Each structure stands twice: as structure tokens, then as C-alpha cells.
Structure 1
Amino acid sequence: MRKILVVGAGQSGLQLALGLQQHGYEVTLMSNRTADEIRSGRVMSTQCMFHTALQHERDLGINFWESQAPRIEGLGISVAGPDGSRPIDWVGKLEGYAQSVDQRVKMAGWMETFAQRGGQLVIHGAAVSDLDYFSRSYDLVLVSAGKGELVSMFGRDASRSPYDKPQRALAVAYVHGLGPRPEHPDYDAVRCNLVPGVGEMFVMPTHTLSGRADILFWEGIPGGPLDVFDSIKDPGEHLATTLDLMKRFLPWEYDRADKVELTDAGGTLAGRYAPTVRNPVGRLPSGGLVLGVADVVVANDPLTGQGSNSASKCAASYLASILERGDQPFDAEWMQSTFDRYWETARHVVKWTNAMLAPPPEHVLNLIGAGGQLQPVADRFANAFDNPADLENFFYEPAKTEGYLAEAAGAR
């Protein structure tokens, strides 16, 4: 029986550990927190998982909260005018519903499931020296802890990382009491609000520790009016600031937020990080090798909502590569080819996210605007959140965008 060590208990690490466990591998999982500490801690992310990523969980039978989490059937784009108006406002219908589950709920539940199924769970904040020691006892070491000292083992790939500093300041609040958008009360949708030159706000339904909730998520251009959360430590002040900025820039969202309250004392989060692609193979001081997973090697800004989706897709891709390897050694060549296989999916996310971080060119503005007149355009753009590879066909090149819009208009 091959022995595998997974370091990090997030979406990718736990999904991989549970998948490997089901296929008979002897798996050890290292986490710096217990399940109870995760469950009672601060929110860790925003997450909206689309059909493909959700299917990877279903394939492993670990979609434990699917019946409880809201079914997100649409994705809407609104663009704020300087006078508080909405010159662009539309909703695209998703082909398969999306869902969001608070990672405190999911990761704690998955960790307990892993242990109940006989997995070896080690609660320890791993350093490079720890991995150097442990690696001698395992056939493969996978690093899925995307922060801290371990990331330093994986060098930045400058050719795939155009930004060397954060492009957005992030601020999250989980709330109860958000009212529906009056124009679309009949189904749940993620709402993407664009404030040109200022930033973006995303509003999405989720399932949290106390049941149904909504996530209010600001992405502010550094140095701008939204970049004010770093110094706020009090959760109540964080929410009040979130609402004040909604009132100023997005009055239609503020109008349905007059009764909101935080889901819990840990329901806020703020921070920033530079989107980075790293080399996938890390070398330990003793010469041993480790393979980076998901955010460790491809960390995107959450602007396009791809973090948990990419983590799920990476875990599924790596699982397939490990199973196909059989009894052959997990050497550097295999590690690189395993990452390259995942990169065929990840590269589309990186290209799209980095493009959206920059001011949109005219043809993209035309595309977003067309979603309000042509429902098929709105639907296709919404479903690109599940399959970003489709954007190659209509998003990046002006000629392709114009051709697609002409075709969509002619089909009316």
C-alpha cells in the first residue's frame, strides 16, 4: 500500500485525501487546526462552486451539504454609473446550479469524515524541517497549505505571473437578513457589481454554521475608497463600513441590506495577496521532493470566483494522475507532468482573472453591455464561470467578440 502525506486541510487537500483514501492509499493529513477550531474560527474565504467542481465532490460522495445549501441558478452583472444608476444590469441562467458552503462547515466535516474512515490525522503546523523528516516515510508528499513558510519552497514563475503585488483589497462579511432583489425574486443568483475605477462587490447566497446566509464581498482597487478594511478589527465596524460603501456606490444592493446582521463573530475577513503562479516541484534540504497543490502553485485573485473551483479541479486532476501512476515512482518528471496536466485547465483561469483585474477594453465593455439585450450572451458569460476555457472563443480578441455578438444578434 502506497503511503501519501497531504499537508493542508483546505478544499484541495481534503478532497485529495478523501479520494486517495477511497482508493486504498494509506493517507496522512496534516492540519494546523482541529475540526473544532476550524468550525469555531473566522471565515476563510468566499466560495461559489459551479457545476464541474461540484460534480467532482459528487463523484467522491462527499457532497454532504448539497441538500442544505441554496441552489444558485443564475449569475448577474451590474455596472454602477457615477450617479448611482445601473446602466448595465442583467442575469444569465446557469446550465447547472452552483452552490456555496462556508468552508468552516465543509472542512471541519470533511476532516472528521477522513478520521472516521481510518485516515491518520496529525494536528501540527508543518515547517520545511518537518517535511524533510516526514518525507522519508512516504512515497509522495503533497503540499496544499497555500500560506506561510511552505510556499517558499516553490519558486515564482515570472513568465506566468504578470503581477508582483496585490491588485485588490478584499473584505468579506457573512450576513443574515439580506432581502431579495425585487426584479428577480424567484431564484437565487450571484450578483457581480462593477464600480468602474473603484472595484467590485459580489453578493452570493451561502450555507453557513447557522443555515442560509449571504456573503457581501468587496474587492477594492488598492489606494481607492474601498481600501479601508485593513485597520478594522471589530466585526461590527467591518459590517458598518461594508454597508456605508454599498450605500455610496451600490444603492440597489444597500436597499435590501437594511436589516442585515453578521452571522457570527467570526463572519468577517479582510486581506490581500498578489496573484502568483509558482513552480510545482519543491525540493527539501535533504533532496526530497514535494508537489504543490492548487493555491500553492496557482493563486488567483478571487475576482472571478475561481478559487474553490480550481482547488476542486486540481484535486481531481492530481487524483487521476496518482491513480494512473500505479507503483511507479513519484519522481520530479512525474510531478511536473502532473502539474502540466492541471495547467491545461488552470491557464484559462489565470488568463481570465488577470484580464479582469485590468481596466476592460472596449470590446469587453460591449460584450458585457450586450448581455442586457441578448439573453444568450448573458447566459454564455455566466456559464464561463464554470468553464473559463470557453472565453477563448468570444472574450479576449475584439474580432471574435464582434463576430460572436453579430451572430447572437442575428439569431434573435
Structure 2
Amino acid sequence: MRKILIVGAGQSGLQLALGLQAQGYAVTLMSNRTAEEIRSGRVMSTQCMFHTALQHERDLQINFWESQAPKIQGLGVSVAGPDSQRAVDWLGRLDGYAQSIDQRLKMAGWMETFAQRGGQLVIHGAAVSDLDYFARAYDLVLVSAGKGELVSMFGRDASRSPYSEPQRALAVAYVHGLGPRPEHPDLDAVRCNLVPGVGELFVMPTLTLSGRADILFWEGVPGGPLDVFQGLKDPAEHLSLTLDLMRKFTPWEHARTAEVELTDAGATLSGRYAPTVRNPVGRLPGGGLVLGVGDVVVANDPVTGQGSNFASKCAAAYLASIVEHGDRPFDEHWMRATFDRYWEMAQHVTKWTNAMLGVPPEHVLGLIGAAGRLQPVADRFANGFNDPSDFENFFFDPEKTAAYLASVGGTAA
């Protein structure tokens, strides 16, 4: 039986651990926190997962909360005009529903399931020196802990990482009590509110520890009016500031917030990081090799909501590569080929996300405007969140955009 060590218990690490466990591998999972510490801690992300990523969980029969979580059937876009009213507003319908499940709930539950199924769970923060030892005891060591000392083993790939500094300041609040959306009160959707030159507000329904809730997520241009959460420790102050900014920049969203309150004491999060693609293979001091997983190797800004989706897709791609490899050695050639298999998918979301962080070109503005008049355009844009590779066909190139709009009977606004 092949022995595999996975360091890090997030979406990628846990999904891969449970998948390998089901295939009969002897899996050890290292986490720096217990399930209860995760469950009682702070929120970790905004995680809206679309159909393909959700299907990977269904395939492993670990979709434990699917019946409880809101079914997100659409994705809406609003663009603020100079008068802080909406200049553009539309809703695209998803072909398959999306869902958001608080990672405190999911990761704690998955960790307990892994242990209950006989997996070896080690609660310990790992250092490079630990991995130097473990690399000799395991057939394969995978690192899915996207922060801290271990990430330093994986050098930045400058050719695939155009930004060296964070492009957004991030601020998240989970709330109860958000009022119904008047535009579509009976349909759950993620709403993307774009405030040109300032940032973005995302509002999405989620399942958290205390049941259904909503996530209010500001992405602010660094140094701008939304970049005010750094160092803020008091959750109540965080929520108050979130609402004040909504009143100023997205009053149509603020109108629903009269009765909101935080879901719990750990319901806020803020931070920033530079989007980075890294070398997938880490070399240990003793000469051993480890393979990076998920955010360790491809960390995109959450402006396109792809973090947990591509963590899931990475886990699924790595699982297939490990199983297909049989009893052969997990050497550097295999490691790089395994990452390349994942990069075939991930390159599209990296290109799209980096494009969305910049000033949108004229043809993209026209495309977003046209979606307000042409439902097929809105629907295709929304479903690109499930399959970002489709944006190659109509988003990046002005000629392809014009040809696509012409094919559905429209032109750019």
C-alpha cells in the first residue's frame, strides 16, 4: 500500500485525502488545527462553488451539506454610475446551480470524516525540517498549506505572475437578516457590484454554522476609499464600516441591510495578497521533493470567485494522476506533468482573473453592457464562472467579442 502525506487541511488537501483514502492509499493528513478549532475559529473565505467543482465532491460522496445549502441559480452584475445608481444591471442564469458552504463547517466535517474512516490525522504545524524527515518515510508528500514557511519552498513563476503586489484589499462579513432582493426575491444569486476605480462588492447566500446567511465581501483598490479594514480587530466595527461603504457606493444593496447582524463572533475577515503562480516542485534541504497543491501553486485574487473551485479541480486532477501512475516512483518528471495537467485548466482562470483586476478595455465594457440587453450574453458570462476556458472564445479579443455579439443579434453598448 502506497503511503502519502498531505500537509494542509483546506479544500484541496482534504478533498484529495478523502479521495485517496477511498482508493485504498495509506494517507496521513497534517493540520495545524483540530476540527473543533476550525469550527470555532474565524471565517476563512467566501467560497462560491460552481457545478463542476461541486460535482467533484459528489463523485467522492462528500457533499454532506448539499441539501441544506442555498441553491444559487444565477449570477448578477451591477455597475455603479457617477451618481452611485446602477448604470448596468442584469442577471445571468446558471446551467447548474452553485453553492457556498462556510469552510469552517465543511473542513471540520471533512476532517472528522477522514479520521472516522481510518485516516491518520496529525495535529501539528509542519516546518520544512519536518518534511525533510517525512520525505524519506512516504512515497509522496503533497503540500496544500497555502501560507507560512512551507510556501517559501515553491519559487514564484514570474512568467505567469504579472503582479508582485496585492491588487485588492479584502474584507468579508457573514450576516443574518439581509432583506429579500426586490429584483428576484425567489431566486438565489451571487451579485457582483462593480464600482469603477474603487472596487467591487460581492453579495452571496451561504450556509454557515447557524444556518442560512449572506456574505458581504468588499474588494477595494489598494489606497482607495475601500482600503480601510487593515488592522481592524473589532467585528462590530468591521460590519459598521462595511455597511457605511455600501450606503455610499452601492445604495441599492444597502437598502436591504436594515436588520443585518453578524452570524457569530468569528464572522469577519480582512487581508490582502499578491496573485501568484509558483513552481510546483519544492526541493528539501536533504534532496527530497514535494509537490504543491491548490493555492500553494496557483493563488488567484478572489475577484472572480475561483479559489475553492480550482482547489477542488486541482485535487481532482492530482487524484487522477496519482491513481493512473500505479506503483511507479513519484519523481520530479511526474510531479511537473501532474501540475501541467492542472495548469491546462488553471491557466484560463489566471488569465481571466488578472484581466478583471485591471482597467477593463472598451470591448469588455461593451460586452458587460450588452448583457443587460441580451439574455444569452448574460447567461454565457455567468456560466463562465463554472468554465473559465470559455472566456477565450468571446471575452479577451475585441474581434471575437464583436463576432459573438453579432451572432446573438447585438452590438457592444
Same fold (TM over 0.5): yes
The Cα offsets for residues 34-69 of structure 1, whole Å up to 9 and x where unpaired, read as 000000000000110000000000000000000000
Match of 1:328 in 2: 328
Q: Which amino acid in structure 2 is aligned with residue 163 of structure 1?
A: Y
Q: Which amino acid aligns with 1:28?
A: T
Secondary structure of the corresponding residue to residue 136 of structure 2: helix
The separation in 1 between residues aligned to 2:158 and 2:372, in whole angstroms, is 38
Partner residue of 1:184?
184
Other-structure match for 1:100? 100
What is the distance in 1 between the residues matched to 2:211 and 2:311?
Answer: 24
Unpaired stretches in structure 2, ≥5 consecutive residues: none
Q: C-alpha separation between the residues in 1 aligned to 2:111 and 2:133?
A: 24
Other-structure match for 1:114: 114
RMSD: 0.8
Q: CA deviation at 1:410?
A: 6.0
Partner of 2:63: 63
2:13 maps to 1:20: no
1:119-160 deviation line (CA, Å, top 9, x unaligned)? 000000000001111111100000000000000000000000
Residues 370 and 410 in structure 2, CA contact (< 8 A), matched pair in contact too: no
1:409 and 1:172 map into 2 onto residues whose CA distance is 39
What secondary structure is seen at the aligned counterpart in 1 of 2:382? Answer: helix
Contact 2:50 2:99 in 1 (8 A): yes
Percent identity (aligned): 82
Partner of 1:230: 230
Residues 33 and 124 in structure 2, CA contact (< 8 A), matched pair in contact too: yes
For 2:156, the equivalent position in structure 1 comes to 156
Alpha-carbon contact 2:204-2:216 (below 8 Å) kept: yes
Give the aligned partner of residue 175 of structure 2.
Answer: 175
2: CA distance, partners of 1:35 / 1:82:
47
Q: What secondary structure, in the 3-state scheme, does the structure 2 residue paired with 1:52 have?
A: helix
Which residue is equivalent to 2:280?
Answer: 280
Q: Secondary structure at the match of 2:360?
A: coil
Q: 2 CA distance for matches of 1:183 and 1:16? A: 40
CA distance in 2 between counterparts of 1:82 and 1:264 reads 35
Alignment match, 1:387:
387
Equivalent residue, structure 1, for 2:263:
263
Report the Cα distance in structure 2 between the residues aligned to 1:299 and 1:130, rounded to whole angstroms: 24
- Partner secondary structure for residue 201 of structure 2: strand
What CA distance in whole angstroms lies between the structure 2 residues aligned with 1:119 and 1:398?
51
Cα distance per residue 1:97-116 (max 9 Å; x no partner): 00000000000000000000
Tell me which amino acid in the other structure corresponds to 1:276: T
| SS across alignment from 2:155 | coil
| Amino acid across the alignment from 1:65 | W
Name 1:349's counterpart in structure 2.
Answer: 349
Gaps of 5+ in 1: none
Indicate whether 1:136 and 2:136 are aligned: yes
**One-letter code of the match for 1:229?**
F
Mapped pair 1:371 → 2:371: yes
**Shift >6 Å, 4+ stretches:** none
CA distance in 1, matches of 2:106, 2:297: 22
Provide the rounded CA distance (Å) in 2 between the counterparts of 1:122 and 1:214.
33
Contact 2:303 2:357 in 1 (8 A): yes
**Deviation by residue 1:187-208 (Cα, 9 ceiling, x = unmatched):** 1000000000000000000000
For 1:218-272, what per-residue CA distance to the aligned partner results, in whole angstroms no more than 9, with x for missing partners? 0000000000000211000000000000000000000001110000000000000
Q: Alignment partner of 2:197: what SS?
A: coil
Cα offsets for 1:298-328 (capped at 9, x unmatched): 0000000000000000000000000000000
- Find the residue that maps to 1:64 and give its secondary structure: coil
Conserved in 1, the CA contact under 8 Å of 2:79 and 2:86?
yes
2:318 alignment partner in structure 1 = 318
One-letter amino acid matched to 2:244 = D
CA distance in 1, matches of 2:231, 2:216: 19
1:289 aligns with 2:289: yes
Instruction: Give, in whole Å, the separation in 2 of the partners of 1:68 and 1:318.
Output: 29
In the alignment, the residues of structure 2 paired with residue 282 and residue 371 of structure 1 have an alpha-carbon distance, to the nearest angstrom, of 44
The corresponding residue for 1:47 is: 47
Q: How far apart, CA to CA, are the structure 2 residues paired with 1:241 and 1:179?
A: 19
What is the TM-score normalised by the length of structure 1?
0.99
Q: Deviations over 1:69-88 (max 9, x none)?
A: 00000000000012121110
Q: CA deviation at 1:362?
A: 0.3
- Kindly state the Cα deviation for residue 406 of structure 1 after the two structures are TM-superposed: 1.1
Q: Does 2:300 match 1:300?
A: yes
Instruction: Name the CA distance, whole Å, in 2 between partners of 1:264 and 1:186.
Output: 26
Instruction: Give the 3-state SS of the residue equivalent to 2:408 in structure 1.
Output: helix
Q: Secondary structure at the match of 1:36?
A: helix
Listed one character per residue, the Cα deviations across residues 364-389 of structure 1 (whole Å, up to 9, x for unaligned) are 00000001100000000000000000
Q: TM-score, normalised by structure 2?
A: 0.99
Aligned equivalents of 1:318, 1:225: Cα separation in 2: 41
176-185 or 114-123, larger mean C-alpha shift? 176-185
Distance 1:159 1:312 in 2: 24
Distance of 1:396 and 1:325 partners within structure 2: 36
How much does 1:33 deviate?
0.0
